[in-house]
Structure 1
Amino acid sequence: MMNDEPAVMSGQHIRAILDELRSDVDTAFSNLDNSPTSQSGRRDVLNAVINYLDTARTLLFRLAQIRERKQPFNIHKRSILIAFESNSDNATQLEERLRPPSWEQSISGMFVPATIFSRVETQEFSPSRKVSNDLATLASARARLLAPRTPSSLQITKQELLSASRTITWVHAKAHELLMVASESPAQELERRLKLRDLYDLKIFDQLHGG
């Protein structure tokens, strides 16, 4: 049986996977347009969004692991990877203390491992207060769907759909931004940084001279 899995997961492969999963979300929303009050349709949307987020978190962490192996050993960066790697079912007692306390926090910090090995500012990939609030709303809905106590636990509100939409829009855009940078060669990185510096210098010049 042939195996079409790439030998090494690249930024291009991850982008293709996330784009495919994003299309699943778009399809779920499109289907919901035909019956906006359908609770089954609303759950399809949330399940597609949650699947996207879980997969993105896994793939971005895998990318961080790959990039770490290509760089000189750094104990600080390695400790960050261990902390995120401990968010698995086979965590040891030490790893239990490092495990992110919730699904919400692990999704919120999904970009951290990859950013520390991708020559970008981690702060640029931290969610805003609004995105964090939307993610909290989505996490609450996810918890209800995973362990419903009553039939009403399966009811998805319009606000939860809106939060899901805004969350995946932000994550997908940031994932593409990070993966583009992660795929850069040193020469491409230098060119990008020079363009950004020139753009910044031009803005400062305009401000000083009333441009």
Structure 2
Amino acid sequence: MSAPIRVLLVDDHAVMRAGFRMILEAQDDIIVVGEAGDGEGAVAQASALSPDVICMDVQMPGMDGLDATARIVEESGPGGPAVVVVTTFDRDDYLFRALAAGASGFLLKNAGPEDLVAAVRVAAAGDALLAPEVTKRVIERFAAAPPSGPVATPREGSREPDRRDEPRIAVDLTERETEVLRLLADARSNAEIAAALYIGEATVKTHVSNVLQKLGARDRVAAVVFAHRHGLA
């Protein structure tokens, strides 16, 4: 059996942390390794405990959850914990600050227990997750902006149809990687991409990793935004 997913809970309400702990520790593959009641505590606990996933509240005394997320992502670097922002407030400023800070997910507290569990597992797997209520807003905001930088198209010699209206690129994606990017932009999970392309999930993870590296994208959210901004969705 693989090691359980190590989770750090950050919320200034002890009752909320207790509820999250109860939900998560009912799962065989998840263990809560620590708690914090503010941003400073979150930064300290993240360094001391090396969790796989941090469930981070936003509004807390002292350093808020968004500043704490930025600190943790910056200090831990690649391979550090994935941060899922879990908040009561469905606000665009919180959403976009969270993504800019490097959060791997954004979930509202009115989500069901199964959504919290799914968010932790998705983040631990290296994927990104947005609450359905906010996904459309993310796409609309970034897709409306003019493209900047290179545009991803298949490498020369692939069988991808020539879309003459699309800008050409400097990003050397293979035909398969371009297919994976299009499916990512359609909000497909790794399992759904594997089924659509008749390949294994391990192969999908490799393709996703290659796509992120070639695009210079921090996570799947950034790749999806890239695809929508450049007409690949």
Q: TM-score, normalised by structure 1?
A: 0.28
Higher RCO (Cα < 8 Å, 6 or more apart): 1
Kindly indicate which of the two structures has a greater share of residues assigned to helix: 1
Task: Specify which structure has the higher proportion of strand.
Answer: 2
